[in-house]
Chains A and B, each alone.
Chain A
Amino acid sequence: MESFNDFIANLSPWLQGLLEGIGLPEIWARVVILSIGGFALAFVPLVAVIFLIWAARKIIARMQDRIGPNNSGPYPGPYALFQTFADAIKMLTKEDVIPTAADRWVFNIAPIVMLTVAVLIWAVIPLGKGITGADLSIGIFYVLSLGSGGMIALMMAGWGSNNKYALLGALRAVANMISYEVPQVLSVLTVVMIAGSFSMQEITEAQNIPFLFVMPVTALLFFVSSLAEVGRQPYDLLEADSEIVAGYFVEYSGMKFGQFYLSEFMNNFAISVITATLFLGGWRGPFVDSVPILGSLWLLLKSLLVFFILLWLWGSMPRLRIDQMLNFNWKFLTPVALVNVCVVALVGKAVPLSAGPWMRAGALLSANVLLAIAVLIVLALAGRRARRRAQAWSVTQMEEEASPA
C-alpha cells in the first residue's frame, strides 16, 4: 500500500527522467506527462460512470419492484455488468441523424461542449490526500463557473436542433440552472467562509468535523440546488417526456445522444463527489494518516452514499411543474440561503477560531438548527394561511351556488 502511494507520487519524476532520457526537451516532456495525467483523470469519471449507469438501473429497478438487468436473457456479463458497454457499442453503430433544418455546426458542437465541461470538473476534485489534478486556489469556484459552459451547451443543443420541443427544453433547463445557481452559490459561500479557502483540498483539510454536522442547512441547500442544476428528479422537467418528448436532446441520435446521456450521468456523479467533499469530509476517514491511499476509498464510499440518495429521489419523486420549481427556488430556497449566509457569518465571527473547533462547530450547529426550526415555523404559518384562504374561497363558492342571483 505504502509503495502504491509512492508510486503515484514518484510517477511524474520517473516519467520525466525517462522522456528526457530519450532526448525530449524538458518542456515537451512536461507537456507529455501533463497530457497523460489529464487523460488518466478524465478516465476516472468515464469508467466510473459506465458502472454507475448499471448500478442506477439496478437500484431504481429494485425500488420500483422490478429486477432490472440480470443474468437471464440477453444481458452480457455476470449480473449484466457489461450492459452499458453493449449500449455504448449499439450507440456507436447507430445511424447519425442530423435534421435537415438544423443549424449543423451548432447542432454538432453542442454534445462535445457538454461532455468537455462534464470532464473538466474532475480536474479540481481531490481524489485522495495530495491526489488532485490541479489543486487550484479557486477550486470550488472553478466548478461553479464551469456550470455556465454547460448552460451554453444546452442552449446550443436546443437552438441548433430547430425543434420547438428542444428549444422549450433548453429554455426550461437554462431558467432552471440560472435560478438554482443562486442558492447553490450562496451555500458554497458559507462553506468557503468557514473553511477559509476556495481550494477543494483545503476545504477537505478544514473538516475535522464534517460540515454536514456543522451546517446541516447549508448541506441540504447545496444538495437540493445541485440536483436542480443537473436536472435530476424531481427537477427533470427539462426533459419531461410527457410534455416536451425529451427536451433539448430530442433530435440527437447515436453517440451524440450517448454524449448527452454520459455527461448527464457524469454531472450526477460529480455533484455526489462534490457534496461528499464539501460536507462529508471528502477523503478524510479512519487510518488515512497511516495509509493515505485509503482516502480514495473513503471518498468513493461517501460519494456512493450521496449518489444512492440521488437515485432514491430519482426512483421516488414525482416531477415538479415549472411554476412550482421557480416558486420553490425564489420564494423558499433563495431567502433561506440568504438568511443562512448571514447566520453563518455572524456566528463564525462571534465564535472565533481561537474558541476551539468543538466550540465553534457547536455554535454553528445550534445556530443552524435554530434556523431550520424558524424556517419550519414560517412554513407552517404560511401553509395554515393558505389553507384558510382556500377554505374561505370554497365557502363563498358554496354560498354563491346556494343563492343564485
Chain B
Amino acid sequence: MTLQQVLFIIFGAITLGAALMVVTRRNVFHAALFLILSFFGVAGLYVLLEAPFLAAVQLFIYVGGIAILILFAIMLTRDMMNPNVTGANRQWWLAALVAVALCAVLGWTVLNHNWAVTPGDVPAESIVNLGKALVDPAGLVLPFEVASVLLLVALIGAVTIARER
C-alpha cells in the first residue's frame, strides 16, 4: 500500500466518520463542529488529488464562511440547544424525500459516469490553467464574471448598509 493510499483511507475515514457524527449528534453545536471536520477531510482529499487551490478554497469558503455562519446561527437562535426539543418537525417527510432523491441522483451519477481511473499525469501548472480557463472567452468567463459581479454587489451592499443615514 502506498503512502497515498494510506492517506486516502485516513482522509476518507475522517470525512465519512465526521459526516456520520453530524447526522447522529443531538447537540447541534457538536454536529456543526463535526461538519467542519468533514470539510477538512474533503480538503485533504483535494490535496491528494493534487488540487491544492481547491483545497484552500474548500477551507476558506466552507470553513471560514459557511461553517462560521452556521455557528453564528446556532448561537443566535433561541432554544436551539434545548435537549427537550427534537430535531425533527412536521416537515420531516419532505426533507427525507429530498434527501432520498438527492442520494438517488448522486448514486446514479457515480455508477453511470465513465470515471478515468488510470493514473494520468496531473498538469504541473494546474492553477495557471484554472486561472486562464476562468477568464477565457471560450471557457468559463461568463459564469465567472456573473459570480464576481454578484459578490461585488454583495460587498458594496454591505458597505452601503453600514453607511446608514
Contacts and interface: CB of A to CB of B under 8 A. Distances in A.
A137 B128 CA distance: 10
A36 interface: no
A98 B144 CA distance: 49
A10 B5 CA distance: 29
B132 interface: no
Given A103-B29, A171-B75, A178-B68, A136 B63 contact: no
A324 to B, nearest CB: 12
Contacts of B36: 152
B60 A331 contact: no
A374 to B, nearest CB: 17
Contacts of B158: 330, 334
Interface stretch (B12-20, B50-58, B86-94): B50-58
Interface in A154-175: 155-156, 159, 167, 171, 174
Consensus secondary structure, chain B interface:
helix
A30 B6 CA distance: 15
Given A182-B155, A334-B159, A138 B68 contact: no
B66 to A, nearest CB: 10
A145 B2 contact: no
B59 interface: yes
Given A27-B3, A103-B29, A106-B29, A330 B159 contact: yes
Contacts of B31: none
Contact of A145 (B57, B68, B152): B57
B67 interface: yes
Interface residues of A, number: 36
A331 B155 CA distance: 11
A334 B158 CA distance: 10
B29 A159 contact: yes
Interface string B57-75: 1011001110110011001
A31 B52 CA distance: 20
A75 interface: no
B33 interface: yes
Given A145-B60, A327-B162, A334-B159, A151 B53 contact: no
Given A137-B52, A138-B56, A156-B33, A148 B63 contact: yes
B60 A141 contact: yes
B59 A331 contact: no
A90 B71 CA distance: 35
Contact of B159 (A136, A148, A331): A331
A357 B156 CA distance: 34
A338 B127 CA distance: 24
A331 B57 contact: no
Interface in A120-164: 136-138, 141-142, 144-149, 151-152, 155-156, 159
Interface string A95-107: 0000000010110
Contacts of A331: 159, 162-163
Given A27-B3, A152-B36, A334 B59 contact: no
Nearest to A338: B155
11 contacts: A27-B2, A106-B30, A138-B53, A145-B60, A149-B63, A152-B36, A155-B71, A171-B72, A174-B71, A181-B64, A338-B155
Q: Closest 6 interchain pairs by CB?
A: A148-B64, A330-B162, A145-B60, A145-B59, A145-B56, A148-B63
